[in-house]
């Protein structure tokens, strides 16, 4: 292995450790949902897994009811990154629930994807890539 290959290998190992540490920091209730299964064999299967996993995360979100002058709305802080929406018209903490949070978790409809769900997706896509290289 050349010095460059050794360096790349070390960086890949460090990246894997950093990703798994981030997933572990979400806590025992969530982190099991974020590890992709090892049998994902295509990018499409990885994305389908993420959609199902984020549906479970969405169901675990702590939903807040916000009283506004003309209506009542529901919002939830992202259970994975503790993030809030970036919009100017934000009526409270977190994201509009459920659709705003769903879009954040999946990076759908031009929303910036949750950095933690992005890590889970990256691991799933890596698993699918390895599965394609070494089919069982
Ligand atoms: Zn998030």
How does pLDDT run across 91-123, given as a tens digit for each residue?
778 999 999 999 999 998 887 899 999 999 999
Count CB neighbours of 93 within 10 A. Answer: 14
Tell me, rounded to whole angstroms, the distance of Cα 52 from its chain centroid.
11
Instruction: For residue 55, give Cα distances in angstroms to 30, 50, 102, 105.
Output: 12, 8, 8, 9
Residues with CB under 5 A from ligand 1 (ion): 78, 80-81, 83, 114
Question: How far, in Å, is the centroid of ligand 1 from the Cα of 77?
Answer: 8
pLDDT at 69: 81
pLDDT at 68: 80
Question: How far, in Å, is the centroid of ligand 1 from the Cα of 41?
Answer: 26
Domain residue limits at 107: 3-133
How does pLDDT run across 8-52, given as a tens digit for each residue?
999 999 999 999 999 999 999 999 999 999 899 999 999 999 999
Question: How far, in Å, is the centroid of ligand 1 from the Cα of 107?
Answer: 10
Question: How far, in Å, is the centroid of ligand 1 from the Cα of 64?
Answer: 16
Question: How far, in Å, is the centroid of ligand 1 from the Cα of 5?
Answer: 34
Average pLDDT rounded to a whole number, residues 47-74? 93
Number of domains composing the chain:
1
């Amino acid at each position: 292995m050349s010095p460059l290959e050794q360096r790349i290998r070390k960086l890949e190992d460090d990246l894997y450790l950093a990703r798994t540490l981030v997933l572990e920091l979400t806590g025992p209730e969530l982190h099991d949902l974020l590890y992709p299964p090892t049998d994902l064999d295509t990018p499409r299967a990885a994305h389908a897994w993420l959609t199902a996993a984020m549906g479970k995360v969405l169901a675990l979100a702590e939903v807040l009811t916000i009283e506004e002058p003309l209506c009542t709305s529901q919002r939830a802080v992202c259970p994975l990154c503790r993030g809030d929406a970036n919009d100017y018209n934000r009526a409270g903490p977190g994201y509009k629930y459920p659709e705003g949070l769903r879009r954040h978790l999946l990076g759908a409809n031009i929303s910036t994807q949750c950095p933690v769900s992005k890590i889970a997706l990256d691991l799933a896509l890596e698993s699918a890539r390895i599965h394609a290289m070494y089919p069982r």
